[in-house]
Amino acid sequence: MCTALSACSVLEGEKVDYKSAGKGVSLEVPPDLNQLTRETRYTVPGGSVTASAYQVGQAAPNAPTATTTLGDVRIERDGSKRWLVVNRPADQLWGPVRDFWLESGFLLTLDQSSLGIMETDWAENRAKIPQDFIRNALGKLIDSVYSTAERDRFRTRLERSANGGTEIYISHRGMIEVYSTTQKDQTVWQARPSDPELETEFLRRLMIRLGVPAEQSRAVVASGGAAKTTSRIATLNNAPVVQIDEGFDRAWRRVGLALDRTGFTVEDRDRAQGVYFVRYVEPNAAKKDEGFLAKLFKKDESDPPLKFRISLKSAGDTTTVSVLNANGAVETSANAQRIVQVLADDLK
């Protein structure tokens, strides 16, 4: 008995086993996901256009670093970033993808097919709880007593491709509970780095949900490629920018994932013009030691959220990412410098 109690615990079996925070401990993190009033830039003669509809009719993307096809599903990779390409219309995939997240133990706080975006609530990965002797002996009797100090949420973005298929991106955001006093009697939740391995694992599971055999999905995601630094901060016309050593198609994907990971709400996107319309979502309003982005965008509740445009312009194999204000003018303020720094850190 003593030997069993003193043995070190290890995580075995499944890598992920999520339970929605909506069913248990609340992080009290304001979602701030209500859509803002639509503006005239979203209206075109002859009818309305959704975000995903911008992708229809665009040129087919350049070949990625690696591609593996299984049935009508293929996984593409550019460095450490992966996404799925499915030869099915987006409206046929929305329901299965939505069911996938619900079956995985999440609730959805954002579920808008017109934007092609869904986002889960904050949930706990129960697979990280040590399976020690006492917990195994008592089973579910005291299961609710056990908890981890981490929570995760995932954003899924669907974009239509020119051939009628769909590209699916999954991005992760994490929070961790830390002590806020030297006496260790109070805790706060703060952001932690995104986890590409979790993103890859859920892409693999989604492949299975879409019909790919489990063994083949494991073999596909196991094949990796070394990532290399392809981005840097520069100054162009007295404004801070990020320069990426890649063409438009790859840069568009990478910037989209970076925005999803770093706390921005993508309200709409226009791939033809190379523009993401974004606003910032503060990850934790109760956090005492706020990050610079939270301080930057912290405003009176009566004030409207600050909005920006992230613009991509390509010339050959180089793409420049710049920050514009809500009216489309180039931002040269400290706001732009901080936003560029956040994007550059994730794009490395």
* Residue 298: partners with Cβ closer than 8 Å, 6 or more residues away: 282, 290
Mean pLDDT of 146-158: 85
What's residue 287's pLDDT? 43
For residue 295, pLDDT beyond 70: no
Tell me: do 173 and 235 sit in the same domain.
Answer: no
Mean pLDDT of 278-298: 52
- Expressed as residue numbers, the domain containing 280 is 228-348
Tell me: do 1 and 21 sit in the same domain.
Answer: yes
For residue 74, pLDDT beyond 90: no
What's residue 133's pLDDT? 52
For residue 34, pLDDT beyond 60: no
Mean pLDDT of 228-255: 87
Residues recorded for the chain: 348
For residue 319, pLDDT beyond 80: yes
For residue 167, pLDDT beyond 90: yes
| Alpha-carbon Rg for the chain in angstroms | 21
Residues above pLDDT 90, as percent of the chain: 29
Tell me: do 165 and 236 sit in the same domain.
Answer: no
What's residue 61's pLDDT? 44
What's residue 132's pLDDT? 55
Is the sign of the CA dihedral 195, 160, 158, 86 positive or negative? negative
What's residue 237's pLDDT? 86
CA distances from 128 to 9, 132, 188, 292, 319 (A): 10, 12, 20, 30, 40
Tell me: do 77 and 205 sit in the same domain.
Answer: yes
Tell me: do 86 and 139 sit in the same domain.
Answer: yes
Total domains in the fold of the chain = 2
